[in-house]
Structures are given as structure tokens and as C-alpha cells.
Structure 1
Amino acid sequence: MFCVDALDVAAELALPAYFFFASAASDFAIFLNMPYLYPGLPSFKDMGDTLVHSPGMRSVRAVDMPLSVQDKELDMTKTRMYQFKRIAEGRGVLVNSFDWLEPTALKALADGVCVPGRPTPRLKEIAHGLESSGHRFLWVVRSPPADPADVFQPRSEPDLDALLPEGFMERTRDRGMVLKMWAPQAEVLRHAATGAFVTHCGWNSTLEAVTAGVPMICYPMYAEQALNKVFMVEEMKIAVPLEGYEKRMVKAEEIEAKVRLAMETEEGRKLRETLATARKMASDAVGDGGSSEVAFAEFLRDLEKSSMENGGCNN
């Protein structure tokens, strides 16, 4: 989705250009409009909780916009605006979602309203919160990045004794498991014992939880994760947020409260009911004749049509 200069190569070779957008359709609908919206606004970093209004979409607080576009004067933001604007020049965009989950965004995209003129936590707080909740848990811990501005850099194996509260592993050994760096997340989410999922709101993780029918507790970290949180909590109704994530100041009491909410309360029961429906709708979408199968078949037909229009041939 960032390789927009491939459009020029595709045009030179008379090939159709499609983009794969790796996050939510809701994010995509907002990003498409941003090059036209942002010039008339201050930098998001100066707007705080002020709502940003995008055509056809739920309004979003400026603070929940991605870090990469918070300061409109930075080269990174200008690059993003260039990329978002050029994506609309492609023949099509593939997004991993389905109708039931994001009806507002898909309608905004289908109606052509998005583009004018075109149809790292504080680990010890998490530990205290999990311990106080009284619930069983599986927790994957990674080392914090040496450079907080580069979340994608390789990381060494974490020193759990240094990162976690003294005695935590011993006190929770009968009801908790801490793994270093990685776990088979999709398999864990599908397990019958999994009752809730504390997630950074990456879109792949969100879809894995939806297809497993597991309620989510949102702790966004970077990129578009806070934006995903907005739609997961306020529109899809499949998650609850951890207060204080904006300043990386989520307290142990807040983590305990949201774990208990998801596991013990009426609100948690309603979340599970919604996720049970979402799980069925996701299964239907990828089944025979489902909306995902239909949409992908439409993409293949369009690809074949564009090939024929450009004088190509199929083997």
C-alpha cells in the first residue's frame, strides 16, 4: 500500500495496478480522504481530542490518528499524503475484511465519497493488573526496543527477571504462563479456554480474534492501531479500550478492571454474544458463495478484463 510509484511502472508496461491495503477498510476510507482534508486543519498533534470528520465515516479524535501523520510539516507526513492520494489512481484495492464487520466504511468506499471527484507498554503495570484480576492468563513478552522511535528493529530475548515485578512468576505460576517473544496466536485464540484477548489492535490480530469469537481489550501501540481501536470499540462493538494508552500510562487497576469486565460482567457477556455473531458472519463470508469469495471472484474477472483490454493473453 506504500509502493505507489509502481503505478508509473505499471502504466509504462500497460499493466493494471492493484494495491493490497494491509489494515482495516475503515482506516483506508479515512486515509483516502486525508490528502484533501488535512491541508485545511492544524497538525493533529496540536488538536488533541478534537474530532476529525471524514466523509461517510465516524468522526475520530486527532490523537487517534497514526503517529506518522501527527505533524503535517514533517517529511514523513508529506510522504504519507502523497501515497494516500496516489492509491486512488490504481485500478482497485484489496482489503482483508467483510461486509458485516465494516459496513460503514465499505459503503463510504462504494459510494465514492472518500476521494473528491472520484467515485511499548509499561510491563510491570500489565503484570500487576493480570495478577490482581485473579484470572488465568497467557502473556507473550518481548524486549522493549532500544530506540522507541523504531518499533520494527530486531529485538533480543527479554530478561523476564528484570522486566517483571519481583516474585511475579512465582506468585502466578499456578494460573499464568509467560512466553518470550512469540506464541501461536491464532491457535491460542481458537482454544476453548481463551476468554479475552489484550491486543495492540493490529488488523491481522483483530481478524484472528473475530474469526475465533474472542472479545478484545485494546492497547494500541503505533501505526494505525489507535484508529483501529476507534472502530473496534465504537462501531463494531467487539472490544473495550484501556484508558491511558495515548500516553503509555495504562495503570494496573485499569488492566484489572477491563479483564474483569470482559470475563465477569454483563457488558462482557454482550461482547461475547457480539463476537459469536461476528465469528459466524466471518465464516459465512469466506464460505462457498460468501461475500469474500464473491468479491475475490470479481477481482479476478476485472483482472482478466483489464488483461484483455491491454492486449494480453492467458496461458
Structure 2
Amino acid sequence: MKQTVVLFAGAGVGHVTPMTELAYVFLKHGYDVTMVLLEPPFKSTDSGASFIERIAASNPSISFHVLPPLPAPDFAASGKHPFLLMLQLARDYNAPLEAFLRSIPRERLHSLVLDMFCVHAMDVGTAVGVPVYTFFASGASCLSVLTQFPALVAGRQSGLKDLGDTPLDFLGVPPMPASHLIRELLEHPEDEMCKAMTNIWKRNTETMGVLVNTFEALESRAVQSLRDPLCVPGRILPPVYCVGPLVSKGTAKDDSKAERNECLAWLDAQPDRSVVFLCFGSKGTLSADQLKEMAVGLERSGQRFLWSVRTPAGTKDPKKYFEVRPEADLDALLPEGFLERTKDRGLVVKSWAPQVDVLQHPATGAFVTHCGWNSTLEAVVAGVPMLCWPLEAEQKMNKVFMTEDMGVAVELEGYRTGFIKAGELEAKLRLVIEAEEGRQLRARVAARREEAQAALEEGGSSRAAFVQFLLDVENLAHGKELGN
């Protein structure tokens, strides 16, 4: 009888995507996989039923279970931060999740794996008596910093915002400017958002183990720090299993030419390693002024480019966060005549480009990125050097790891002021594509690519870590029963 692994992904494309890749690792090892999803609280073309249906349709070997929808919170009336309301809504799903888990015979349940933002569901796993693990969709360096964070702020009478760029020392990572932590963590320790987030990071390492989307060679210092008794004084952390890079294979290798995106055909006509790809993730947007400044820098640089442009957000309405912005009006957003003047060496796409396929294309030579972890791993796996332009969440932390520890990127320094000047973009693009420093950077990224491939091969570190995880779950099953 096949055992079933239940993956609780919550919501958010950036979290569902790597968890879907994790599902395939379980499938390869002979397990059935059910991914539990929540209906996002707002319908749009990028969320709600269409998003869930799209994921399910493109992954027929995985079972998907959508929990019965609960009433969405009234974001406008509550006055609370939307993230806090989303956390509360997710906690309210504990009862439907428990009912679903109890519908599966206990002897068939292998484990419950929770997304990093769904750790409140740990109590459900304990009640049902199933081993519970965390899936941390970011890297080990980020996990190490966030695991050490609660002890750093314990007893502090003021927020870390006062520290500005003062470097903070954490085990396993380079010195981290205080300002580069996740913005909400800089608030007063008693601030509701700060407390909620600090609690999430604490609970991430209170499960029976953490599956991390990384490979040991990429972040060896950080991985070792999570095994160090000094990481969280007075606490033994659970095992950390580096099972990545969990990256989509892309669609470029499919036989179906009909579905191939037009930008890939454009890349076919460009010389190897000559094109700069600029893309800022599913949520990253830049101001209209910044887009115009980028265009000037791109034009002056003389480099070939493929640029994914999205309509500026223009609103802080939390409801809008879940909605897809209209397709970009390029004539209004870009300098007059820019598209005409650069048509022989540049292509601008409105809103979306098949990122994995673009990064794996031989013509792609550099990647201007917001430093989201999925994007970072996709570039490492493709062997493409990066220019860091972090925007939000943990991206400034990732920038530190990528430039100082991993050696796979250079930074666009203007991110610190929130505005990248045309002159810096022009100079950095030339550096990465044409200069000796760029050649050395490419060599380092190529070495990381080899390490990533080795980690996933038979006998590789990530394969071995996953096998160890399965063994540990089996040992638990043969030890004492959990829960009741």
C-alpha cells in the first residue's frame, strides 16, 4: 500500500511552485502526494480558481485538495496589517485541514509537510498523530538568520530600525546590515507584526525537521550553523535536510513548438551569452520614473536585452496585492522612441516571460533580478550571473549571501536609496557582459551550476539528504506513536 504525503502549501505562487517540485521528489520515491491549497481571498487572473486549476492541470500526477473556502477578512474595516489578517485566516483553516487529514486512513499517512508560513498547522498534525515537517522555500542562510533572530530581540526595549546599516553578526553568514532584515522585523519587538513574524520563524524549527530548498555546497557555512548548538542557546534544533535546488525544468525542451513563447524565438537569433534578462518576479514592480531611467541605462549600455515590464503598482491597497495589474502600456511607460531605437538588440515583453526557459537559453548572459530565492536558484542552475536589485521581503538578505558568500552576483548599489541611476545600470551591465570581472563571475557561477547538478545526482548531497529524511520518518513510525 502506497503511503500519502500531504503538502500544505497555503497560498502564493512563490511558495506553491517550489513545493510542487518537492512533490515530484516524493513521487520519484514511490509516494502518493496530495497538495492542500487555500482559495486566495480575492479572485483574479493570477489567483483563485484559475491559478489552482492551472497548477492542477499542469501537474496531473499530484492530487490537489482545495479546502472549503472560509469568509475572507474585511481588510478595509479592520485597520490591521493584511499579513496579520491572512495569518488569522490561515489559522482558521486548521479545522478543515484536520477533517481532511482524518479522512485518510492513519496507516496511509506518511507525513505532513508545511510551508514556512503555515506552521500554525503543526498542532493539527500533532492532533492527528502524523509526523510534521517544515518546508522552507528560501535558503539555509535566510533560515539561519531568522532562526537566530528571536534571541537577538528578546528583551530589547527598542526596534532594530535605530541601528540603520550597523552590521549584525549571525552564525554562518557574512555580517548583515540591520537595515537588510525583513522590514517588519525592524519594528519594536512588541509591535504586533514583529511579534507575529518572530513567532513564525521560531515555530519553523519546532517541527521534526526542516526541508530546505538549497544544496549544501551553495550554503555550507549556513547549513553548519543550523547544526551548531550555539545557533539558539539552550535549544537543540531539529535536523535540516538540504533537498534542492527544487527548480522547474521549464518548457523549452518540450516537443510542442506551438506553445513556445515568442521571446524564446527572439533569443534563438542572438549570440551565446550576449543578452541581459531583466525580470522582477511575480510581485515586483518599479515606479514609472524608475522604468524610464532603466530604459536610458539599457540604451546607453549598448547591450542586447530582454526586459519584462509590468505596470507600476501605484496603490498600497492590500486587496490589490492579490490582483493582476493590467498589461503594461509600453509607449506610456518608456521614453519616446526607445522601442524603435533599440529594436535591433532589445525585446520588451509586457508583464510575463517564461523565466526558467529564458535563463536556460544559451543566449542569456546575465540576469537583473529582485533576488527572490526561486529566481536565484533558477539562475544558479542555469549558470547565469546576476545583478542584484532587491525590493522587499528577505531579498536584501539574499543579496548579501549572493554577493559575499556564494559569489554568483554583483549588486546595483542604488537599491539602498530605492532608485537605480542609468549610469550605474549601464556600467554594471558592461562589467558583467564585457569585463574581466564579469568573466570571473561567470566562471564562479558555472562552478556553482556543476555543484547543483552533482547534488541532485545519484549519491549527491541533496539525494542523500532526502533519503535520510525518509529514513528518519520511518524510524519515528517504528518508535512511539505521535499524538493520540
Counterpart CA distance in 1 for 2:341 and 2:179 is 37
Specify the SS of the correspondent of 1:244: helix
Specify the SS of the correspondent of 1:177: strand
In the TM superposition, what are the counterparts of 1:73-152 in structure 2 within 5 Å? Answer: 73-119=190-236, 120-121=285-286, 122-148=290-316, 150=318, 152=321
Partner of 1:70: 186
Write the letter of the residue equivalent to 1:180.
K
Q: Tell me the alpha carbon deviations over residues 1-41 of structure 1, each in whole angstroms, 9 at most, x when there is no partner.
A: 12222122222222211011111110000000101102355
Q: Tell me the alpha carbon deviations over residues 243-275 of structure 1, each in whole angstroms, 9 at most, x when there is no partner.
A: 121231110111111101101111101100001
TM-score scaled by structure 1?
0.94
Q: Tell whether the 8 Å contact from 1:218 to 1:229 is kept in structure 2 after alignment.
A: yes
Q: Does 1:53 find its partner at 2:169? A: yes
Specify the SS of the correspondent of 1:178: strand
Counterpart CA distance in 2 for 1:78 and 1:114 is 20
Identity of aligned residues (%): 52
Q: Tell whether the 8 Å contact from 1:143 to 1:156 is kept in structure 2 after alignment.
A: yes
How far residue 242 of structure 1 moved from its aligned partner, in angstroms, is: 0.5
Counterpart CA distance in 2 for 1:275 and 1:196 is 11
Counterpart CA distance in 1 for 2:358 and 2:440 is 22
Change (3 A) 1:131 1:148: farther
Partner of 1:283: 453
In the TM superposition, what are the counterparts of 1:233-248 in structure 2 within 5 Å? Answer: 233-248=403-418
How far residue 54 of structure 1 moved from its aligned partner, in angstroms, is: 1.6
Specify the SS of the correspondent of 2:391: coil
Write the letter of the residue equivalent to 1:112.
P
Write the letter of the residue equivalent to 1:105.
A
Write the letter of the residue equivalent to 2:138.
S
TM-score scaled by structure 2?
0.62
Change (3 A) 1:248 1:149: farther
Change (3 A) 1:236 1:148: farther
Counterpart CA distance in 1 for 2:465 and 2:481 is 25
How far residue 153 of structure 1 moved from its aligned partner, in angstroms, is: 3.0
Range with greater deviation from structure 2 (42-51 or 276-285): 42-51
Q: Tell whether the 8 Å contact from 1:262 to 1:268 is kept in structure 2 after alignment.
A: yes
Partner of 1:18: 133
Range with greater deviation from structure 2 (34-43 or 165-174): 34-43
Change (3 A) 1:145 1:58: same
Write the letter of the residue equivalent to 1:92.
G
Counterpart CA distance in 1 for 2:333 and 2:126 is 52
Specify the SS of the correspondent of 2:359: helix
Q: Tell whether the 8 Å contact from 2:218 to 2:406 is kept in structure 1 after alignment.
A: yes
Counterpart CA distance in 2 for 1:238 and 1:212 is 12
Q: Tell whether the 8 Å contact from 1:215 to 1:238 is kept in structure 2 after alignment.
A: yes
Q: Tell me the alpha carbon deviations over residues 92-117 of structure 1, each in whole angstroms, 9 at most, x when there is no partner.
A: 01111111110110110122332222
Counterpart CA distance in 1 for 2:300 and 2:406 is 29
Q: Tell me the alpha carbon deviations over residues 110-162 of structure 1, each in whole angstroms, 9 at most, x when there is no partner.
A: 22332222234321111111111101000001112232475843222111111
What are the ranges of 5 or more consecutive residues in structure 1 without an aligned counterpart?
A: none
Write the letter of the residue equivalent to 1:86.
R
Partner of 2:394: 224
Range with greater deviation from structure 2 (216-225 or 74-83): 74-83
> Which structure would you say has the larger RCO, counting Cα contacts within 8 Å and 6 or more residues apart?
1
Q: Does 1:167 find its partner at 2:337? A: yes
Range with greater deviation from structure 2 (63-72 or 281-290): 63-72
Q: Tell whether the 8 Å contact from 1:218 to 1:241 is kept in structure 2 after alignment.
A: yes
Counterpart CA distance in 2 for 1:61 and 1:291 is 31
Q: Tell whether the 8 Å contact from 2:141 to 2:172 is kept in structure 1 after alignment.
A: no
Q: CA RMSD in A?
A: 1.6
Partner of 1:9: 124
How far residue 59 of structure 1 moved from its aligned partner, in angstroms, is: 1.4
What are the ranges of 5 or more consecutive residues in structure 2 without an aligned counterpart?
A: 1-115, 237-284
Counterpart CA distance in 2 for 1:56 and 1:102 is 9
Partner of 2:146: 31
Counterpart CA distance in 2 for 1:125 and 1:308 is 62
In the TM superposition, what are the counterparts of 1:159-238 in structure 2 within 5 Å? Answer: 159-238=329-408
How far residue 70 of structure 1 moved from its aligned partner, in angstroms, is: 2.2
Partner of 1:266: 436
Q: Tell me the alpha carbon deviations over residues 57-99 of structure 1, each in whole angstroms, 9 at most, x when there is no partner.
A: 3210011111221213431111001111122211001111111
Range with greater deviation from structure 2 (200-209 or 5-14): 5-14
Counterpart CA distance in 1 for 2:184 and 2:334 is 30
